[in-house]
Homo-oligomer: A and B are copies of this chain.
Protein backbone atom coordinates (compact mmCIF):
# COMPACT_ATOMS: atom_id res chain seq x y z
CA UNK A 1 0.00 0.00 0.00
CA UNK A 2 1.21 3.49 -0.73
CA UNK A 3 0.97 6.61 1.33
CA UNK A 4 -1.51 9.03 -0.17
CA UNK A 5 -0.58 12.68 -0.06
CA UNK A 6 -3.18 14.59 1.89
CA UNK A 7 -4.05 18.25 1.99
CA UNK A 8 -4.93 20.55 4.82
CA UNK A 9 -3.61 23.37 6.88
CA UNK A 10 -3.47 23.50 10.62
CA UNK A 11 -2.70 26.41 12.80
CA UNK A 12 -2.97 26.90 16.46
CA UNK A 13 -0.63 29.56 17.68
CA UNK A 14 3.01 30.04 18.47
CA UNK A 15 4.60 26.98 20.02
CA UNK A 16 2.20 24.71 18.31
CA UNK A 17 3.47 22.16 15.89
CA UNK A 18 0.14 22.18 14.08
CA UNK A 19 1.41 25.26 12.32
CA UNK A 20 1.82 24.97 8.59
CA UNK A 21 0.70 22.86 5.70
CA UNK A 22 0.43 19.12 5.44
CA UNK A 23 1.03 18.25 9.06
CA UNK A 24 1.49 14.48 9.20
CA UNK A 25 1.04 12.33 12.24
CA UNK A 26 2.41 8.81 11.97
CA UNK A 27 1.20 6.03 14.25
CA UNK A 28 3.17 2.83 14.62
CA UNK A 29 0.55 0.12 15.02
CA UNK A 30 -2.88 -0.24 13.46
CA UNK A 31 -4.84 -1.67 16.37
CA UNK A 32 -7.80 -0.42 18.40
CA UNK A 33 -5.77 2.20 20.27
CA UNK A 34 -4.77 3.78 16.99
CA UNK A 35 -8.35 3.49 15.79
CA UNK A 36 -9.73 5.43 18.74
CA UNK A 37 -6.96 8.01 18.33
CA UNK A 38 -8.02 8.50 14.71
CA UNK A 39 -11.65 8.92 15.81
CA UNK A 40 -10.59 11.92 17.90
CA UNK A 41 -8.15 13.25 15.31
CA UNK A 42 -11.03 13.55 12.82
CA UNK A 43 -12.52 16.35 14.94
CA UNK A 44 -9.32 18.34 14.62
CA UNK A 45 -8.88 17.58 10.94
CA UNK A 46 -5.51 15.99 11.75
CA UNK A 47 -4.42 13.45 9.20
CA UNK A 48 -3.24 10.17 10.65
CA UNK A 49 -1.00 7.74 8.83
CA UNK A 50 -0.63 4.23 10.23
CA UNK A 51 1.80 1.40 9.77
CA UNK A 52 1.03 -2.18 10.65
CA UNK A 53 1.85 -5.62 9.34
CA UNK A 54 -1.80 -6.67 9.17
CA UNK A 55 -3.70 -5.29 6.15
CA UNK A 56 -7.01 -5.77 8.04
CA UNK A 57 -6.04 -4.22 11.39
CA UNK A 58 -8.64 -1.92 13.04
CA UNK A 59 -7.07 1.27 11.63
CA UNK A 60 -6.88 -0.02 8.08
CA UNK A 61 -10.22 1.34 6.91
CA UNK A 62 -10.18 4.73 8.60
CA UNK A 63 -6.57 5.94 8.56
CA UNK A 64 -5.72 8.66 6.04
CA UNK A 65 -3.07 6.35 4.74
CA UNK A 66 -2.07 2.88 5.75
CA UNK A 67 1.38 1.43 5.17
CA UNK A 68 2.10 -2.27 5.43
CA UNK A 69 5.26 -2.79 7.44
CA UNK A 70 6.76 -4.61 10.37
CA UNK A 71 6.91 -2.52 13.53
CA UNK A 72 10.11 -4.15 14.73
CA UNK A 73 11.87 -3.77 11.37
CA UNK A 74 14.42 -0.98 11.20
CA UNK A 75 13.92 -0.20 7.52
CA UNK A 76 10.14 -0.28 7.66
CA UNK A 77 10.05 2.14 10.59
CA UNK A 78 12.63 4.43 8.98
CA UNK A 79 10.80 4.55 5.68
CA UNK A 80 7.48 5.19 7.34
CA UNK A 81 8.79 7.82 9.72
CA UNK A 82 11.02 9.97 7.57
CA UNK A 83 8.33 12.22 6.07
CA UNK A 84 6.23 12.55 9.25
CA UNK A 85 6.16 15.54 11.56
CA UNK A 86 5.27 13.55 14.67
CA UNK A 87 5.51 9.81 15.28
CA UNK A 88 3.70 8.06 18.07
CA UNK A 89 3.03 4.43 18.95
CA UNK A 90 -0.01 2.47 19.94
CA UNK A 91 2.09 -0.55 20.97
CA UNK A 92 5.51 -0.54 22.65
CA UNK A 93 7.11 -3.29 20.62
CA UNK A 94 8.62 -1.18 17.87
CA UNK A 95 12.11 -0.68 16.50
CA UNK A 96 13.70 1.81 18.89
CA UNK A 97 16.93 2.21 16.92
CA UNK A 98 15.02 3.60 13.93
CA UNK A 99 13.06 5.92 16.20
CA UNK A 100 16.27 7.25 17.75
CA UNK A 101 17.61 8.07 14.31
CA UNK A 102 14.36 9.67 13.24
CA UNK A 103 14.44 11.77 16.40
CA UNK A 104 18.02 12.81 15.67
CA UNK A 105 16.90 13.78 12.15
CA UNK A 106 14.28 16.14 13.56
CA UNK A 107 11.10 14.08 13.63
CA UNK A 108 9.27 14.49 16.93
CA UNK A 109 8.91 11.03 18.45
CA UNK A 110 6.49 10.85 21.40
CA UNK A 111 6.82 8.94 23.65
CA UNK A 112 10.55 9.45 23.22
CA UNK A 113 12.58 6.41 22.07
CA UNK A 114 14.54 6.12 25.32
CA UNK A 115 11.26 5.65 27.18
CA UNK A 116 10.12 2.95 24.79
CA UNK A 117 13.46 1.24 25.25
CA UNK A 118 12.96 1.16 28.99
CA UNK A 119 9.35 0.00 28.69
CA UNK A 120 10.36 -2.88 26.43
CA UNK A 121 12.40 -4.27 29.31
CA UNK A 122 10.53 -4.93 32.56
CA UNK A 123 13.89 -5.18 34.32
CA UNK A 124 14.83 -1.61 33.33
CA UNK A 125 11.35 -0.50 34.41
CA UNK A 126 11.85 -1.92 37.88
CA UNK A 127 15.30 -0.35 38.14
CA UNK A 128 13.84 2.99 37.15
CA UNK A 129 11.36 2.78 40.03
CA UNK A 130 14.09 1.76 42.42
CA UNK A 131 16.53 4.48 41.34
CA UNK A 132 13.86 7.17 41.59
CA UNK A 133 12.30 6.22 44.90
CA UNK A 134 9.03 5.17 43.29
CA UNK A 135 7.27 2.55 45.43
CA UNK A 136 7.04 -0.84 43.75
CA UNK A 137 6.97 -4.48 44.87
CA UNK A 138 10.31 -6.04 45.93
CA UNK A 139 12.01 -7.78 43.01
CA UNK A 140 15.11 -9.47 41.72
CA UNK A 141 16.48 -9.78 38.19
CA UNK A 142 17.59 -13.18 36.97
CA UNK A 143 19.04 -14.40 33.67
CA UNK A 144 18.01 -18.02 33.79
CA UNK A 145 15.77 -20.51 35.51
CA UNK A 146 18.80 -21.60 37.54
CA UNK A 147 19.16 -18.16 39.11
CA UNK A 148 15.69 -18.36 40.61
CA UNK A 149 17.23 -20.67 43.20
CA UNK A 150 19.39 -17.75 44.38
CA UNK A 151 16.23 -15.82 45.28
CA UNK A 152 14.20 -18.31 47.27
CA UNK A 153 13.61 -15.72 49.99
CA UNK A 154 11.41 -13.75 47.52
CA UNK A 155 9.02 -16.66 46.88
CA UNK A 156 6.12 -16.70 46.12
CA UNK A 157 6.79 -14.46 43.08
CA UNK A 158 5.35 -13.51 39.71
CA UNK A 159 8.00 -14.36 37.16
CA UNK A 160 7.87 -11.97 34.20
CA UNK A 161 9.95 -12.19 31.05
CA UNK A 162 11.93 -8.95 30.83
CA UNK A 163 11.12 -8.64 27.12
CA UNK A 164 8.27 -9.58 24.82
CA UNK A 165 5.50 -10.22 27.36
CA UNK A 166 2.09 -8.80 26.47
CA UNK A 167 -1.46 -9.00 27.81
CA UNK A 168 -0.86 -11.74 30.32
CA UNK A 169 1.61 -13.62 28.16
CA UNK A 170 5.15 -14.10 29.52
CA UNK A 171 3.93 -13.92 33.11
CA UNK A 172 3.51 -16.79 35.53
CA UNK A 173 3.45 -17.51 39.24
CA UNK A 174 6.34 -19.32 40.90
CA UNK A 175 5.01 -20.10 44.34
CA UNK A 176 7.27 -22.81 45.63
CA UNK A 177 10.72 -24.24 44.93
CA UNK A 178 8.99 -27.07 43.03
CA UNK A 179 7.43 -24.56 40.58
CA UNK A 180 10.89 -23.43 39.43
CA UNK A 181 11.12 -26.48 37.15
CA UNK A 182 8.35 -24.92 35.01
CA UNK A 183 9.79 -21.38 35.23
CA UNK A 184 10.81 -19.30 32.20
CA UNK A 185 14.48 -19.91 31.40
CA UNK A 186 15.78 -16.49 30.39
CA UNK A 187 16.13 -12.87 31.55
CA UNK A 188 13.24 -12.28 33.95
CA UNK A 189 11.96 -10.15 36.76
CA UNK A 190 10.95 -11.99 39.92
CA UNK A 191 8.42 -9.89 41.75
CA UNK A 192 7.07 -10.59 45.23
CA UNK A 193 3.38 -11.34 45.46
CA UNK A 194 1.54 -8.27 46.61
CA UNK A 195 -1.40 -8.70 48.95
CA UNK A 196 -3.53 -5.97 47.42
CA UNK A 197 -7.13 -4.97 47.99
CA UNK A 198 -7.60 -3.03 44.78
CA UNK A 199 -5.87 -2.40 41.48
CA UNK A 200 -5.95 1.26 40.52
CA UNK A 201 -4.91 3.16 37.45
CA UNK A 202 -4.08 6.78 36.73
CA UNK A 203 -3.57 8.20 33.28
CA UNK A 204 -1.34 11.24 33.08
CA UNK A 205 -0.45 13.39 30.09
CA UNK A 206 2.37 15.84 29.49
CA UNK A 207 3.09 18.06 26.50
CA UNK A 208 6.43 19.44 25.36
CA UNK A 209 5.76 22.72 27.16
CA UNK A 210 5.72 20.68 30.39
CA UNK A 211 2.00 21.05 31.06
CA UNK A 212 0.77 18.00 33.01
CA UNK A 213 -2.78 16.74 33.64
CA UNK A 214 -4.03 13.56 35.26
CA UNK A 215 -7.34 11.75 34.88
CA UNK A 216 -9.20 10.86 38.07
CA UNK A 217 -8.08 7.52 39.53
CA UNK A 218 -10.01 4.44 38.40
CA UNK A 219 -10.36 0.95 39.75
CA UNK A 220 -9.81 -2.20 37.70
CA UNK A 221 -11.39 -5.56 38.26
CA UNK A 222 -9.20 -8.22 36.66
CA UNK A 223 -10.13 -11.58 35.33
CA UNK A 224 -7.94 -13.85 37.45
CA UNK A 225 -7.58 -16.48 34.72
CA UNK A 226 -6.75 -14.12 31.88
CA UNK A 227 -4.77 -11.42 33.71
CA UNK A 228 -6.81 -8.86 31.78
CA UNK A 229 -9.05 -6.04 32.94
CA UNK A 230 -12.62 -7.33 32.96
CA UNK A 231 -14.40 -4.27 34.39
CA UNK A 232 -13.20 -0.80 35.12
CA UNK A 233 -14.94 1.60 37.49
CA UNK A 234 -14.65 5.37 37.42
CA UNK A 235 -14.17 6.96 39.86
CA UNK A 236 -12.31 4.52 42.11
CA UNK A 237 -13.90 4.00 45.49
CA UNK A 238 -10.90 5.04 47.55
CA UNK A 239 -10.12 7.60 50.25
CA UNK A 240 -9.38 11.17 49.27
CA UNK A 241 -5.88 10.63 50.59
CA UNK A 242 -5.20 7.65 48.30
CA UNK A 243 -6.73 9.57 45.38
CA UNK A 244 -4.36 12.49 45.95
CA UNK A 245 -1.33 10.25 46.44
CA UNK A 246 -2.00 8.22 43.28
CA UNK A 247 -2.40 11.42 41.27
CA UNK A 248 0.76 13.03 42.66
CA UNK A 249 2.81 9.90 42.07
CA UNK A 250 1.63 9.78 38.45
CA UNK A 251 2.78 13.37 37.90
CA UNK A 252 6.11 12.61 39.55
CA UNK A 253 6.70 9.60 37.29
CA UNK A 254 5.96 11.39 34.00
CA UNK A 255 8.18 14.29 35.08
CA UNK A 256 11.05 12.03 36.09
CA UNK A 257 10.75 10.29 32.73
CA UNK A 258 10.67 13.71 31.02
CA UNK A 259 8.05 12.09 28.82
CA UNK A 260 5.73 13.68 26.25
CA UNK A 261 2.44 11.89 25.56
CA UNK A 262 0.11 9.89 27.70
CA UNK A 263 1.24 7.45 30.38
CA UNK A 264 -0.90 4.89 32.17
CA UNK A 265 0.18 3.90 35.65
CA UNK A 266 -1.20 0.74 37.17
CA UNK A 267 -1.04 0.53 40.94
CA UNK A 268 -1.59 -2.08 43.59
CA UNK A 269 -3.33 -0.67 46.66
CA UNK A 270 -2.15 -2.89 49.50
CA UNK A 271 -4.14 -3.91 52.55
CA UNK A 272 -2.23 -1.17 54.40
CA UNK A 273 -3.23 1.49 51.83
CA UNK A 274 0.24 1.58 50.39
CA UNK A 275 0.46 2.35 46.64
CA UNK A 276 2.89 0.22 44.66
CA UNK A 277 3.49 0.85 40.98
CA UNK A 278 2.78 -2.35 39.06
CA UNK A 279 3.36 -1.40 35.44
CA UNK A 280 3.40 1.69 33.27
CA UNK A 281 2.43 2.04 29.60
CA UNK A 282 3.43 5.12 27.58
CA UNK A 283 0.31 5.20 25.36
CA UNK A 284 -3.48 5.22 25.55
CA UNK A 285 -4.48 2.33 27.77
CA UNK A 286 -7.31 -0.09 28.36
CA UNK A 287 -7.93 1.55 31.74
CA UNK A 288 -8.78 4.84 30.04
CA UNK A 289 -11.36 3.82 27.45
CA UNK A 290 -14.26 5.04 29.60
CA UNK A 291 -12.92 8.60 29.28
CA UNK A 292 -14.42 8.78 25.78
CA UNK A 293 -17.88 9.25 27.28
CA UNK A 294 -17.33 9.59 31.01
CA UNK A 295 -14.83 12.49 31.13
CA UNK A 296 -14.75 15.90 29.48
CA UNK A 297 -11.66 14.97 27.45
CA UNK A 298 -10.86 11.43 26.37
CA UNK A 299 -7.46 9.82 26.83
CA UNK A 300 -7.12 9.60 23.05
CA UNK A 301 -7.72 13.29 22.54
CA UNK A 302 -5.41 14.04 25.46
CA UNK A 303 -2.66 12.00 23.81
CA UNK A 304 -3.22 13.87 20.56
CA UNK A 305 -3.01 17.18 22.40
CA UNK A 306 0.13 16.12 24.29
CA UNK A 307 2.07 14.98 21.23
CA UNK A 308 1.06 18.01 19.16
CA UNK A 309 2.07 20.34 22.02
CA UNK A 310 -1.38 21.90 22.21
CA UNK A 311 -3.18 22.71 25.47
CA UNK A 312 -4.18 19.66 27.50
CA UNK A 313 -7.90 19.16 28.07
CA UNK A 314 -9.90 19.24 31.26
CA UNK A 315 -10.23 15.69 32.61
CA UNK A 316 -13.22 16.16 34.93
CA UNK A 317 -15.75 13.36 35.20
CA UNK A 318 -19.00 14.00 33.33
CA UNK A 319 -20.70 10.93 34.78
CA UNK A 320 -19.44 7.89 36.68
CA UNK A 321 -18.73 5.03 34.32
CA UNK A 322 -18.01 1.34 33.98
CA UNK A 323 -15.98 -0.11 31.13
CA UNK A 324 -16.46 -3.72 30.09
CA UNK A 325 -13.69 -5.35 28.09
CA UNK A 326 -15.18 -7.39 25.27
CA UNK A 327 -13.14 -10.51 24.53
CA UNK A 328 -13.82 -13.15 21.92
CA UNK A 329 -15.97 -15.90 23.42
CA UNK A 330 -13.71 -18.85 24.36
CA UNK A 331 -15.80 -21.25 22.26
CA UNK A 332 -15.61 -19.49 18.91
CA UNK A 333 -13.04 -18.76 16.26
CA UNK A 334 -13.75 -17.31 12.81
CA UNK A 335 -15.60 -14.37 11.19
CA UNK A 336 -16.80 -11.94 13.82
CA UNK A 337 -20.42 -11.90 14.95
CA UNK A 338 -21.67 -9.43 17.57
CA UNK A 339 -24.33 -11.39 19.39
CA UNK A 340 -26.66 -9.32 21.57
CA UNK A 341 -25.65 -5.91 20.25
CA UNK A 342 -29.33 -4.95 20.06
CA UNK A 343 -29.61 -5.57 23.81
CA UNK A 344 -26.65 -3.27 24.44
CA UNK A 345 -28.26 -0.61 22.26
CA UNK A 346 -31.40 -0.69 24.39
CA UNK A 347 -29.54 0.25 27.58
CA UNK A 348 -29.55 3.99 28.25
CA UNK A 349 -26.01 5.29 28.64
CA UNK A 350 -24.34 2.21 27.14
CA UNK A 351 -21.79 2.79 24.39
CA UNK A 352 -20.53 0.01 22.15
CA UNK A 353 -17.05 0.27 20.67
CA UNK A 354 -16.45 -2.60 18.31
CA UNK A 355 -12.91 -2.61 16.99
CA UNK A 356 -13.60 -3.89 13.51
CA UNK A 357 -11.60 -7.09 13.70
CA UNK A 358 -12.80 -9.36 10.93
CA UNK A 359 -12.13 -12.57 12.91
CA UNK A 360 -12.62 -13.49 16.51
CA UNK A 361 -10.48 -15.85 18.58
CA UNK A 362 -10.87 -17.05 22.16
CA UNK A 363 -10.17 -14.10 24.48
CA UNK A 364 -9.07 -11.79 21.68
CA UNK A 365 -9.83 -8.13 22.47
CA UNK A 366 -12.73 -7.39 20.16
CA UNK A 367 -14.16 -4.22 21.65
CA UNK A 368 -15.30 -2.53 24.80
CA UNK A 369 -18.57 -1.18 26.13
CA UNK A 370 -18.85 1.79 28.44
CA UNK A 371 -21.87 2.45 30.63
CA UNK A 372 -22.32 5.87 32.18
CA UNK A 373 -24.84 6.81 34.84
CA UNK A 374 -25.04 9.54 37.48
CA UNK A 375 -25.06 6.65 39.99
CA UNK A 376 -22.04 4.35 39.71
CA UNK A 377 -23.93 1.46 41.30
CA UNK A 378 -26.57 1.62 38.57
CA UNK A 379 -23.87 1.69 35.91
CA UNK A 380 -22.36 -1.43 37.50
CA UNK A 381 -25.71 -3.23 37.44
CA UNK A 382 -26.23 -2.43 33.76
CA UNK A 383 -22.66 -3.46 32.97
CA UNK A 384 -23.06 -6.85 34.63
CA UNK A 385 -26.28 -7.55 32.74
CA UNK A 386 -24.62 -6.53 29.45
CA UNK A 387 -21.68 -8.80 30.26
CA UNK A 388 -24.09 -11.72 30.54
CA UNK A 389 -26.06 -10.88 27.39
CA UNK A 390 -23.48 -9.73 24.87
CA UNK A 391 -20.92 -12.02 23.26
CA UNK A 392 -18.55 -11.95 20.33
CA UNK A 393 -19.00 -15.28 18.58
CA UNK A 394 -18.67 -16.64 15.07
CA UNK A 395 -21.11 -18.07 12.58
| A interface with B by C-beta (< 8 Å) | 6-13, 16, 18, 21, 35, 39, 42-45, 47, 56, 61-62, 64, 296, 305, 310-311, 313-314, 316, 318-319, 335-343, 345-346, 348-349, 351-356, 358, 372, 395
Q: Is the CB of A44 within 8 A of B358?
A: no
Residue of B nearest to A305 (CB): B345
Q: Is the CB of B311 within 8 A of A8?
A: no
Docked pose: A35 CA to B39 CA in angstroms: 11
Q: Which of B11, B42, B342 contacts A311 (CB 8 A)?
A: B342
Name the distance in Å between A216's Cβ and chain B's nearest Cβ.
14
Copies of this chain in its oligomeric complex: 2
Given A45-B355, A296-B348, 19 extra CB contacts under 8 A:
A7-B358, A8-B336, A8-B358, A11-B339, A12-B345, A13-B340, A13-B343, A18-B341, A39-B42, A42-B356, A43-B353, A44-B352, A45-B336, A45-B338, A45-B356, A310-B341, A313-B345, A314-B348, A318-B319
3 closest A-B pairs by beta carbon, nearest first, are A314-B348, A45-B354, A12-B342
Which B residues are CB-close (under 8 A) to A358?
Answer: 7-9
Name the distance in Å between A190's Cβ and chain B's nearest Cβ.
41
Docked pose: A173 CA to B56 CA in angstroms: 55
Name the distance in Å between A328's Cβ and chain B's nearest Cβ.
13
Interface SS, A side: loop
Docked pose: A316 CA to B7 CA in angstroms: 38
Docked pose: A353 CA to B42 CA in angstroms: 8
Q: Which of B42, B310, B338, B352 contacts A35 (CB 8 A)?
A: B42
The contact sample of 22 A-B pairs, CB cut-off 8 A, is A6-B61, A7-B335, A7-B358, A8-B356, A8-B358, A9-B336, A9-B337, A10-B338, A11-B339, A12-B341, A13-B343, A18-B341, A21-B335, A35-B42, A43-B351, A43-B354, A44-B341, A44-B354, A296-B348, A296-B349, A310-B345, A311-B342
Q: Which of B11, B337, B340 contacts A337 (CB 8 A)?
A: B11
Q: Is the CB of B42 within 8 A of A62?
A: yes
Docked pose: A68 CA to B356 CA in angstroms: 25
Name the distance in Å between A8's Cβ and chain B's nearest Cβ.
6
Name the distance in Å between A348's Cβ and chain B's nearest Cβ.
4
Name the distance in Å between A174's Cβ and chain B's nearest Cβ.
41
Docked pose: A225 CA to B291 CA in angstroms: 40
Which B residues are CB-close (under 8 A) to A12?
Answer: 338, 341-342, 345
Q: Is the CB of A314 within 8 A of B349?
A: yes
Name the distance in Å between A381's Cβ and chain B's nearest Cβ.
16
Name the distance in Å between A22's Cβ and chain B's nearest Cβ.
10
Select the residue from A21, A61, A296 with max chain B CB neighbours within 10 A: A61
Residue of B nearest to A312 (CB): B345
Which B residues are CB-close (under 8 A) to A342?
Answer: 12-13, 16, 310-311
Which B residues are CB-close (under 8 A) to A341?
Answer: 10-12, 18, 44, 310
Select the residue from A6, A338, A345, A349 with max chain B CB neighbours within 10 A: A345
Residue of B nearest to A334 (CB): B9
Which B residues are CB-close (under 8 A) to A9?
Answer: 335-337, 358, 395
Docked pose: A338 CA to B12 CA in angstroms: 7
Q: Which of B10, B311, B352 contacts A346 (CB 8 A)?
A: B311
Q: A12-B341, A44-B352 are in contact. Are A56 and B7 (CB under 8 A)?
A: yes
Q: A7-B358, A310-B342, A354-B44 are in contact. Are A64 and B61 (CB under 8 A)?
A: yes
Name the distance in Å between A31's Cβ and chain B's nearest Cβ.
14
Select the residue from A11, A13, A47 with max chain B CB neighbours within 10 A: A11
Which B residues are CB-close (under 8 A) to A349?
Answer: 296, 314
